[in-house]
Amino acid sequence: MRYLFLLLIAGYALVGHTQTHDYSKSRCFDFHKQNCDKSTNKYYQYNSESRSGLFHKGQRSRTVIEAYNGRDYRISICHDDVFNKPVVFRIIDKMGGEVLYDNSQDNYAKDFEFTVTTSIELFIEIEVQGESPLVEKRSKMLIRRDNEVGCVGVLIEYMVTPRKGF
């Protein structure tokens, strides 16, 4: 019984050691909170729909946000230095598929502020430019190249739209 207990402890330690990795899920968990530039406007609040994730070159991914009437939004992106080309982000109308904003048309800006006049569901699409060396086919075996992946964060902030005029 004592040997079984020691074997379990040794197995647990070995599994814990082999699964520890610089780019584990926890590595990117709050990347947006620590690395994306927050607004200097004190009225902006953190939106819980903010996200971070592990990306490789050539990857595209979307997340959905609900943008509410009468609010101003600020979306900021940030990424690890492993990506040597600018990261593209787009704001897309979920219902119609229309691209409402594309930072590649705005000198690859890392943030964008806008006012919502009608509540709308939006996709925030992130595209990491470049060729993906993450996976190679070698006898049907996938080989991960960790030096080619990194974290990308999307920080979403909002505030009540200030009244305009008198």
pLDDT (tens digit, 0 to 9) for every residue of the chain, 166 residues total?
Answer: 554 444 444 444 444 433 334 555 567 889 999 999 999 999 999 999 999 999 988 889 999 999 999 999 999 999 998 888 899 999 999 999 999 999 999 999 999 999 999 999 999 999 999 876 545 555 665 555 556 788 999 999 999 998 888 8
Task: At 142, list the tokens.
Answer: 């996938």
3-state DSSP call for residue 66?
A: strand
Question: Which string of b and e fits 116-139 if b means at least 16 CB within 10 Å?
Answer: beeebebbbbbbbbeeeebeeeee
Amino acid at 1: M
User: What pTM value is reported for the model?
Assistant: 0.76
What was the pLDDT predicted at 148? 72
Give the pairing of strands 51-56 and 87-93: unpaired
Domains contained in the chain, CATH given: 23-160 (2.60.120.680)
What was the pLDDT predicted at 122? 97
3-state DSSP call for residue 58?
A: coil
What was the pLDDT predicted at 144? 57
User: Looking at the chain, which runs of residues are DSSP E strands?
Assistant: 45-46, 51-56, 60-67, 71-79, 87-93, 99-102, 111-116, 120-128, 137-138, 141-142, 149-160
What was the pLDDT predicted at 143? 53
What was the pLDDT predicted at 121? 97
What was the pLDDT predicted at 58? 85
What was the pLDDT predicted at 48? 95
Q: Mark residue 12 as left, alpha or beta (left: phi above 0; alpha: psi -120 to 50; beta: remaining).
A: alpha
Q: How far is CA 85 from the centre of its chain?
A: 16
